[in-house]
Amino acid sequence: MRHFFTILAHEVRMLLVSPSTYVAAVAFLAVMGFIFTNILEKYSTAPQDLSPASVFFSVYFLPVIFMVPLLTMKCLAEERRLGTIETLLTTPVTTAEVVLGKYGAAYLLYLAFWASTSGLFFILKRFAGDPRLIDSGPILGGYLFIAVSGLLFISIGVFTSALSRNQAVAGLICTTILILIIFGGRYLGSVSWLDRESLAPIKDAVAYGQISQHFLDFTRGVVDTRELLFYLSGTVLFLIFSILSVEAKLLHS
């Protein structure tokens, strides 16, 4: 893995000089700023049970569904479309180093986007007269959830980018998988037919993979090692699939 950091640094530089990165960053901050403003307007009119941070992070799925495909759909699909992936792999680098380097760059940018939203809480702390609006627990838990779940979400995006030469197709597949993972578990957890005793193992598996419940646990300060294992194992699995997909495409090209 000695070439991993070289590829990672190159990918980060390419992202930093790309105009689309800054367009995406501005759009992301504009949307999150709009959401944060609406939350504060509700708190200014009537008292709320949850802190602003809990409500703010509860809409994590909106930027995830749209931002993750934008960050990842190009990383391998574009290389395959231009034929540069074959040239890159003729150098002394492995497929794993290429995939992990591109994954690492996309993940760092994902973290940077979310880290920029900390400025919203700084502004709130600076100008709010009520210190109760700033609850450090949900803020730290929310950012920890974003960082941990982002490992899985970005790996899904890299995997879908490895499946197709077309960026749009890769982005569409990624969006579909993210929607199924985020909302599918929530839906299955609410259906009544899973309450049958014979389906108890399936219901336990569905409950284990419910991302919405993981979010609630993190914002309450409950960090379950089983949930960490869920994201880490899922990340490793999708990255392995990505590596195998790239190698399979190279063998058949």
> 81 burial class (0-12, 13-18, 19+ CB within 10 angstroms)?
middle
Q: How far apart are CA 163 and CA 159, in angstroms?
A: 7
**Cα–Cα distance list, 199 to 111, 190, 209, 226 (Å):** 38, 14, 16, 21
Confidence of residue 247 (pLDDT cuts 50, 70, 90): confident
Nearest to 188 by CA among 161, 210, 168: 210
Q: Which has more pLDDT, 153 or 125?
A: 153
Q: What is the pLDDT of residue 190?
A: 66
The reported pTM is: 0.89
**Mind listing the pLDDT tens digit for each residue in 195-222?**
676 666 776 676 777 888 888 888 888 8
Q: Supply 217's token pair.
A: 């646990």
Read off the pLDDT of each residue in 81-96 and give the average, rounded to a whole number. Answer: 71
Q: What is the pLDDT of residue 85?
A: 67
Read off the pLDDT of each residue in 43-70 and give the average, rounded to a whole number. Answer: 84
- Residue whose structure tokens are 């070439």: 3
**Diameter over CA atoms, the chain:** 64
Nearest to 177 by CA among 201, 193, 161: 161
3-state DSSP assignment of residue 250: helix
Q: Which of 163-177, 201-215, 222-236 has the lowest mean pLDDT?
A: 201-215
Phi, psi of 199 (to 5 degrees): -100, 15
Q: For residues 109 and 71, is the Cβ–Cβ distance under 8 A?
A: yes
CA angle 196, 200, 204 (to 5 degrees): 135
Q: What is the pLDDT of residue 130?
A: 64
Q: How far apart are CA 94 and CA 111, in angstroms?
A: 26
Confidence of residue 1 (pLDDT cuts 50, 70, 90): low
Q: What is the 3-state secondary structure (H, E, C) of 43-86?
A: HHHCCCCCCHHHHHHCCCHHHHHHHHHHHHCCCCHHHHHHCHHH
What is residue 183's DSSP assignment?
I
**b/e map of 164-202 (b: 16 or more CB within 10 Å)?**
bbebeebbebbbebbeebbeebeebeeeeeeeeeeeeee
Q: What is the H or E stretch that residue 197 is in? A: none
